[in-house]
Amino acid sequence: MTDPRKPPLKLAVVGHTNVGKTSLLRTLTRDVGFGEVSHRPSTTRHVEGARLSVDGEPLLDLYDTPGLEDAIALLDYLEHPGERLDGPARLARFLEGSEARQRFEQEAKVLRQLLDSDAGLYVIDAREPVLAKYRDELEVLASCGKPLLPVLNFVSSANHREPDWREALARLGLHALVRFDSVAPPEDGERRLYESLALLLESSRPQLERLIADQQVQRLARQQSAARLIAELLIDCAACRRSVVSEVEQEQQAIGELRKAVRQREQRCVEALLKLYAFRPQDAAASDVPLLDGRWGDDLFNPETLKQLGVRVGGGIAAGAAAGAGVDLLVGGLTLGAAALAGAIAGGALQTARSYGGRLLGKLKGQRELTVDDSVLRLLALRQRQLVQALNVRGHAALGSIQLATPQDQSWREGKLPEALNKARAHPQWSSLNPAPRLSQAERQEQIEVLAQKLVVDS
Ligand SMILES: Nc1nc2c(ncn2[C@@H]2O[C@H](COP(=O)(O)OP(=O)(O)OP(=O)(O)O)[C@@H](O)[C@H]2O)c(=O)[nH]1
Ligand SMILES: [Mg+2]
């Protein structure tokens, strides 16, 4: 436990204009709506704070500040040759003077905030050459007498100049620095950032470590929840079935409706994932599922369905074994026992009707069943898993929409589908897409859990 009376650590996010200070805050707070981000300079005009808490205990206050624009002029103004005031004293005098309210109003806001904070994060656009204006900026900021941790932003860009910056910062006595691209942050980026801060601010280490631990817990919890959302989608689709009269027109209509239902279901999953990761619905536009042709009634050949039938019809199989009726309906997918079973259906129609409902009887009367093809389940799994991978590494400063590349996930593409999906095929009441579903059934929940664990392990 951290000392409950200890106030939150205060960090000022400072730097040149347009280097991504507000963006860094968005990513660290996972808040896409924080402040205003624009490609134009001087977007942030006032200091704005955001708080990170764990279990209601505030641990870190981050302050966004306006960008510095004219540090060269300010440094000239601050320096009085021959004078022996130290940095903070010089700044105090400047902040009391009139220029701090006029010509250097923006700079004064930054310096006041840094003086009032425990440390500063100095954000750098790593694509920029190390110009004199940045050195002067660092000199002005350093005169606050607060620890500064340089943060290299834009390091995912091809043309960044990280080595130049490292060297220049070392010459200024700044040896610790972190790489943190706020649009595409490294997965352990926050941990590294807080660990580096803990080295600069030893007394705040407990708070920072708590923050690190909490973020790890949150990340794992998100991954578990995401896997569950995908598992529910897959179970819903695997268990989904639609009865349809076997006439071309009705079949076509039913296929259209099923495709629509599956697409909407996938969209619901996308939206739930975005919400889980604190992104907005417009951040990802899933294109239509290239749903393959619906699968006709062969779910009746599914071993799980047969097991269920065999158990329930019991004596019916023996009684009707010789009748041989309805064989044409059951060919394909069944070898041994096809006739026996077909006979069972004819001979044991009553038991069957009772145990299996009107579905099977419907089939005998020229109804067929439309189910979602395995390949669509594969596709849904691949796409959603990919979305999660993209969300795991997307910073909350990202403005572009999420692009999903072609999945390269061999096991879901070609491997055997998880057993939970086979089971779901035999349980129409597990699908929210079917009428009168029973979604809280313990067995359904169990299979979702098993499938979710597999999805987590796969990733
Ligand atoms: N590709 C990429 N773009 C970024 C990154 N960080 C910020 N940007 C973009 O850079 C521009 C400036 O970002 P802001 O966060 O507004 O920068 P700022 O430092 O707060 O700017 P001022 O408030 O004007 O001083 C925006 O167009 C951002 O989308 C990054 O890590 N990668
Ligand atoms: Mg800003």
Q: Which tens digit of pLDDT belongs to each residue from 149-196? A: 999 999 999 999 999 999 999 999 999 999 999 999 998 999 999 999
With a 6 Å cutoff on the Cβ, whether 39 touches ligand 1 is yes
How many angstroms separate the alpha carbon of residue 21 from the centre of ligand 1? 7
pLDDT for the residue numbered 366: 63
The candidate with the shortest Cα–Cα distance to 284, out of 272, 292, 295, is: 272
Average pLDDT over the chain reads 81
Say which ligand is closest to the CA of 395.
Answer: 1
| CB-based burial, 312-341: b 16+ in 10 Å, e otherwise | ebeebbebbbebeebbebbeeebeeeebbb
For residue 293, the number of C-alpha atoms closer than 13 Å in the C-beta half-sphere is 5
The arithmetic mean of pLDDT across residues 438-456, rounded, is 95
For the Cβ of 19 lying below 6 angstroms from any atom of ligand 1, the answer is yes
CA of 21 to the centre of ligand 2 (A): 5
Residue to mutate (ligand 1; options 36, 37, 181, 401; most atoms within 8 A of CB): 37
417 vs 424: CA distance, rounded Å: 12
* pLDDT tens profile 110-154: 999 999 999 999 999 999 999 999 999 999 999 999 999 999 999
Percentage of the chain modeled with pLDDT above 90 = 57
Handedness of CA 440, 441, 445, 451 (dihedral sign): negative
Residue-level pLDDT at 284 = 65
Lowest mean pLDDT among 85-94, 118-127, 337-346, 403-412: 337-346
Lowest-pLDDT range, 242-251, 306-315, 345-354, 383-392?
A: 306-315
What local confidence, expressed as pLDDT, does residue 84 receive?
82
Q: Provide the pLDDT for residue 458.
A: 75
What is the CA(183)–ligand 2 centre distance, in A?
A: 14
**Quick one: average pLDDT of 56-79?**
94
Res 365: pLDDT: 56
Provide the pLDDT for residue 248. Answer: 73
For residue 154, give the ligand 1 atom closest to its CA.
Answer: 31
Backbone angles phi, psi at 318, to 5 degrees: -65, -45
What is the torsional sign of CA 260, 266, 272, 277? Answer: negative
Q: What is the pLDDT of residue 10?
A: 98
User: Are the CB atoms for 111 and 91 separated by under 8 Å?
Assistant: yes
Spell out the SS3 assignment of 100-137. HCCCCHHHHHHHHHHHCCCEEEEEEECCCCCCHHHHHH
Amino acid residing at 175: H
* Dihedral angle over CA of 101, 105, 108, 112, nearest 10: 80
Is the confidence at residue 443, as pLDDT, over 50? yes
Note the pLDDT of residue 403. 67
Residue type, 4: P
Binding site membership of 12 for ligand 1 (Cβ less than 6 Å): no
Domains in the chain (CATH in brackets) are 9-200 (3.40.50.300), 242-458 (no CATH)
Mean pLDDT for the stretch of residues 221-237: 96
Q: Look at 458 and 185; give whichever has higher pLDDT.
A: 185
Q: What is the pLDDT, as a whole number, of residue 148?
A: 97
Q: Is 44 in the pocket of ligand 1 (CB under 6 A)?
A: yes
Distance (Å, whole) CA 300 – CA 306: 7
By three-state DSSP, how is residue 83 classified?
Answer: coil
Q: Is the pLDDT of residue 395 over 90?
A: yes
Segment 288-335, tens digit of pLDDT? 333 333 333 333 334 443 344 332 332 333 333 333 332 222 222 221
The pair of three-digit structure tokens given for residue 397, joined into one six-digit string: 């400063």
Nearest ligand to the CA of 182 is: 1
Q: In the prediction, which pLDDT does 408 show? A: 63
Share of the chain above pLDDT 70, in %: 78
Minimal-distance CA residue to ligand 1 atom 16: 37
Residue 159, pLDDT score: 94
pLDDT band of residue 99 (cuts 50, 70, 90) is very high
- Rounded average pLDDT over 235-240: 92
Determine the pLDDT at residue 343.
Answer: 36
Q: What is the pLDDT of residue 310?
A: 37
Give mean pLDDT, residues 397-405. 77
- pLDDT higher than 80, residue 252: no
Among 308, 315, 320, which Cα is nearest to 425's?
308
pLDDT of residue 314: 29
Q: How far is the CA of 382 from the centre of ligand 2 (A)?
A: 37
Q: Kindly report the protein residue whose alpha carbon is nearest to atom 17 of ligand 1.
A: 20
The better pLDDT of the pair 333, 67 is held by 67
CA of 116 to the centre of ligand 1 (A): 24
Q: Which ligand is nearest to the CA of 39?
A: 1
Q: Which residues contact 297 (CB under 8 A, 6 or more apart)?
A: 363, 368, 369, 370, 371
Cα(86) to ligand 2 centroid in Å equals: 30
Of all atoms in ligand 1, which is nearest to the CA of residue 64? 20
Kindly list the distances between the CA atom of residue 40 and the CA atoms of 37, 43, 44, 161, in Å, as whole numbers in the listed order.
9, 7, 10, 22
- Whether 41 is in the pocket of ligand 1, judged by its Cβ within 6 Å, is yes
- Point out the least confidently predicted range of 201-215, 239-253, 326-340: 326-340
